Amino acid sequence: MSRARVLVLHPALGPLDYRVPAGMRVAPGSIVVVPIGPRQYAGVVWEAERLPTEEIGDNRLRNIMAVADAPPIPAPVRRLVEWTADYYLSPPSAVLAMALRTSAAFESAPTITEYRATGQVPERLTPQRAQALERIGERQGLVKELALVADVSDAVIRGLVKVGAIEPVVVDTDTPYPMPDPSFAPPELNPLQADAASILRQAVGAEAFQPFLLDGVTGSGKTEVYFEAVAAAIAAGKQTLVLLPEIALTEPFLTRFEKRFGCDPVAWHSGLRTSQRRRAWRAIASGEAMVTVGARSALFLPYPNLGLIVVDEAHETSFKQEDGVHYHARDVAVMRGRFEECPVILASATPAIETRHQVELGRYEELKLPGRYGLAEMPEIVPIDLIQEPPERGRWIAPPLVKAIDETLARGEQSLLFLNRRGYAPLTLCRHCGHRFQCPNCTAWMVEHRLLRRLSCHHCGHTVPAPEICPECKSEDTLVACGPGVERIADEVAALWPEARTAIVTSDTLWSPAKAAEFVARMEHGAIDIVVGTQLVTKGYHFPNLTLVGVIDADLGLDGGDLRASERTFQQIMQVSGRAGRGEKPGTVYIQTHAPDAPVMQALITGDAESFYAAETEARRDADAPPFGRYAAIIVSSEDRAAAEETARMIGRTAPEIGEDMHVYGPAPAPLAMLRGRHRYRLLVHARRSFDVQQVLRDWLGSLAWSQKVRVAVDVDPYSF
Ligand code: ADP
Ligand code: ZN
Ligand code: ZN
């Protein structure tokens, strides 16, 4: 007889004990179905032991109902789930949910039925049907997936199936993925690249935990170098996971991967259809998928045979998950490497101060690529002092940058204007009465999107049609846009260079991998002269004919005033600069700023990253901020403002007296005091690095109770402090 302890996918419950019925075989990691009350839940066996019947004793113990016909969740993943739950103070079941795809584990059918348009126009073409067919286009998916893209009900889609405008297609979800070939097209590495690659190959061969920082300037060939480690893993029959910060980056990555290894890797991100997700999960869990490229959630997938983890653009803030389980994928990747006993490569041209510190402490090995590959040189960085040389009234591009764009166009080369603000203008106000358009759900202005004729909130997505009259004083023609967004810069570009072919690149325009691929193709074919973009264009792209970068407002990121502001600004501008002059033609970067003498601007201009990092690190040491001290934020939120405030105060009052090791600050209104209709208060816990702050938080918060209306979330290692 045996008993098993099962971690159930139930948000509020920890592991529970069940009886293993006679004839059923389970082991730690087995994926099972268990009853809780009248309902059934999926779960994973955490411990299983054979016991004499009398010791099982408890006859209230209920039976495990079924075992999935799927590979077990491997031990390193179970340890990772426990570690993540402990470290980030999250329910283990919420972490487990990222590893377990129940539909993939339990449905053993080798096919799934999807639907697609046949091209036939139905006789009765209602507006809804027309909308559905137009939006669906060539897409394929489950009825509910198509309904979602088309923004219609499932019934509309089913109606279209009935009249033959949409047809079922059977998709095989067990088709094997092609095998990447490690010697398909290896590059010839330059000596520095070859040294780094050989160290990485050895590390893969050693099958031991070893974190690396692959620190190479933009265009130095970091991808080519870590591909050598990937090749070594494939040759050794080991699986590799490559994490990318942004789904828009996967498409260019797939192309490069295919050139090097002869086929696509397996992709894992939130844009996958159910059928793709099921196929990928099974191939990963069975060990058949050799290389996966994925977003941060891929980190918890049950690879049985992981031999290498790469975190590309490891400095990116999108690796930090800000809801649900608040984890940092870069840090969890290193932990996974530890449990898997495999190397972890963090690749970046602008590593986070935290990562550099790990190198200084000797925990991570640094591999440096200080120069660009081939004939490409680092771009020249030229400041434009906006006080000395301001743009014309109502314009944002200063004269020296206008001149540089003129010249770039004349040479037939491409320019990129960078402004990290979507939409047309960040604020709209009435010049008659001063009314400002604010989001009803958030402490944020409504941003005008002129292309869509809408105002929308970038925090909650609340959207309204662009108003014509002031809702306050009812004046007409008194609403004015304040400040620039990328659309406004694109307007200015169109006015200055009517002949130039322009593209706006933001998450509004590049919302899918296919859109990103289309943009890349147009850039490569020279169909675009000037790109105006947000941080989305700063990442990973390689356009040899792009020689000019203009940073419209270099001071933008410095506003917040938190301790990360300079680091973030430095990283962002270095990254966008990195897009200039990546081929044989040299690049130039113009930085428009009101503070050309600020240390971060000086570091960018002189290219002296080392002194900048040293100064920033000292500032962190003085403030006892990460990577020296540590922070945890307690976010108390509720739709009821008074309830949130009261709970936050109660938590503050009960803070344990620890002395020098830990201090609690606040509560104060959180940086976004209202978000998605919830009022938010924040307590900031500051502690010594060596202090077990999680244990204290668990005991402290665990001893308190609050109203159902209030949510309390802990963010360990918050991004801003
Ligand atoms: P990074 O990731 O460091 O910015 P990439 O890996 O994108 O740099 O390399 C920049 C460009 O140089 C890419 O087009 C890449 O294919 C090319 N490149 C780098 N190293 C080599 C090499 N050894 N042989 C051929 N091309 C290379
Ligand atoms: Zn008004
Ligand atoms: Zn909002």
CATH number reported for the structural domain that contains residue 686 in this entry: 3.30.70.600
Q: Same domain, yes or no, for 564 and 688?
A: no
Residue 218 Cβ < 6 Å to ligand 1: yes
Q: Please, are residues 160 and 126 in contact by the beta-carbon 8 Å criterion?
A: no
Q: Same domain, yes or no, for 421 and 569?
A: yes
Q: Same domain, yes or no, for 198 and 338?
A: yes
DSSP state of 469: B
Q: Encoding tokens for residue 156?
A: 């509309």
Q: List, edge to edge, every strand of the sheet that includes 140-141.
A: 140-141, 111-117, 166-172
What is the number of the ligand closest to the CA of 188? 1
Residue 350 Cβ < 6 Å to ligand 1: no
Q: Which of 73, 100, 127 is the last residue of a domain?
A: 100
Q: How far is the CA of 218 from the centre of ligand 1 (A)?
A: 9
Could you tell me if the ipTM is greater than 0.90? yes
Q: How far is the CA of 132 from the centre of ligand 3 (A)?
A: 28
**Global pTM?**
0.92
Q: Encoding tokens for residue 37?
A: 């009350």
Q: Same domain, yes or no, for 165 and 305?
A: no
Q: How far is the CA of 544 from the centre of ligand 1 (A)?
A: 11
DSSP state of 218: T
Residue 42 lies in a domain: yes
Q: Encoding tokens for residue 232?
A: 């070594």
Q: Same domain, yes or no, for 80 and 137?
A: no
What dihedral angle (degrees, nearest 10) is formed by the CA atoms of 600, 602, 604, 608? Answer: -100
Residue 106 lies in a domain: no
The total number of structural domains that make up the chain: 5
Of 381, 383, 351, 386, which Cα lies nearest the Cα of 366?
A: 351
Q: Residue 55: pLDDT above 70?
A: no
Q: Encoding tokens for residue 275?
A: 């059928």
Instruction: Give the model's confidence band at 54: pLDDT under 50 very low, under 70 low, under 90 confident, else very high.
Output: low
Digit-coded pLDDT (tens) for 634-683: 999 999 999 999 999 999 999 998 888 999 998 999 989 999 999 999 99
Q: Which of 100, 123, 155 is the last residue of a domain?
A: 100
Instruction: Give the model's confidence band at 57: pLDDT under 50 very low, under 70 low, under 90 confident, else very high.
Output: low
Q: Which of 592, 619, 646 is the last residue of a domain?
A: 619
| Percent of residues, the chain, with pLDDT higher than 90 | 74
Output the residue whose Cα is nearest ligand 1's atom 15: 221
With b for 16 or more beta-carbon neighbours within 10 A and e for fewer, the 441-473 pattern comes to bbbbbbbbbbeeeebbbbbbebeeebeeebeee
Q: Same domain, yes or no, for 348 and 286?
A: yes
Output the residue whose Cα is nearest ligand 1's atom 9: 221
Residue 182 lies in a domain: no
What is d(CA 397, CA 316) in angstroms, rounded to the nearest whole number?
28
Probe residue for ligand 1, chosen from 316, 373, 524, 537 as the CB with the greatest number of ligand atoms within 8 Å: 373
Residue 368 Cβ < 6 Å to ligand 1: no
Q: How far is the CA of 217 from the centre of ligand 3 (A)?
A: 38
Q: Binding residue per annotation — 482?
A: no
Residue 585 lies in a domain: yes
Mean pLDDT of the region 318-332: 93
Q: Same domain, yes or no, for 633 and 610?
A: no
Residue 341: count other Cβ atoms within 10 Å of its Cβ: 14
The domain of 136 spans: 111-172
Q: Same domain, yes or no, for 418 and 510?
A: yes
Residue 219 lies in a domain: yes
Q: How far is the CA of 539 from the centre of ligand 1 (A)?
A: 14
For 127, counting Cβ atoms within 10 Å of its Cβ (0-12 exposed, 13-18 middle, 19+ buried), the class is exposed
CATH number reported for the structural domain that contains residue 270 in this entry: 3.40.50.300
Instruction: Give the model's confidence band at 474: pLDDT under 50 very low, under 70 low, under 90 confident, else very high.
Output: very high
What is d(CA 4, CA 8) in angstroms, rounded to the nearest whole number?
12
Residue 74 Cβ < 6 Å to ligand 1: no
Residue 466 lies in a domain: no
Digit-coded pLDDT (tens) for 91-137: 999 999 988 877 777 777 788 899 999 988 888 888 889 888 988 88
Q: Which atom of ligand 1 is nearest to the CA of 216?
A: 3
Digit-coded pLDDT (tens) for 142-174: 999 999 988 899 999 999 999 999 999 998 888
Mean pLDDT of the region 615-630: 93
Q: Residue 570: pLDDT above 70?
A: yes
Q: Binding residue per annotation — 263?
A: no
Instruction: Give the model's confidence band at 48: pLDDT under 50 very low, under 70 low, under 90 confident, else very high.
Output: confident
Q: Same domain, yes or no, for 14 and 90?
A: yes
Instruction: Give the model's confidence band at 65: pLDDT under 50 very low, under 70 low, under 90 confident, else very high.
Output: very high
Q: Please, are residues 155 and 204 in contact by the beta-carbon 8 Å criterion?
A: no
Q: Which atom of ligand 1 is nearest to the CA of 312?
A: 2
Output the residue whose Cα is nearest ligand 1's atom 24: 187
Residue 142 Cβ < 6 Å to ligand 1: no
Q: Please, are residues 113 and 120 in contact by the beta-carbon 8 Å criterion?
A: no
Digit-coded pLDDT (tens) for 521-564: 999 999 999 999 998 888 778 899 999 999 999 998 887 668 88
Digit-coded pLDDT (tens) for 705-715: 999 999 999 99
Contacts of 252 (CB under 8 A, 6+ apart): 516, 517, 520, 540, 541, 542
DSSP state of 125: -
pLDDT (0 to 100) of residue 508: 85
Residue 442 lies in a domain: no
Q: Same domain, yes or no, for 388 and 269?
A: no
Residue 27 lies in a domain: yes
Query: What stretch of H or E contains 48?
Result: strand 39-50
Q: Same domain, yes or no, for 685 and 608?
A: no
Q: How far is the CA of 455 from the centre of ligand 3 (A)?
A: 11
pLDDT (0 to 100) of residue 316: 92
Q: Same domain, yes or no, for 222 and 259?
A: yes
Q: Report which of residues 154 and 271 the model is more confident about.
A: 154
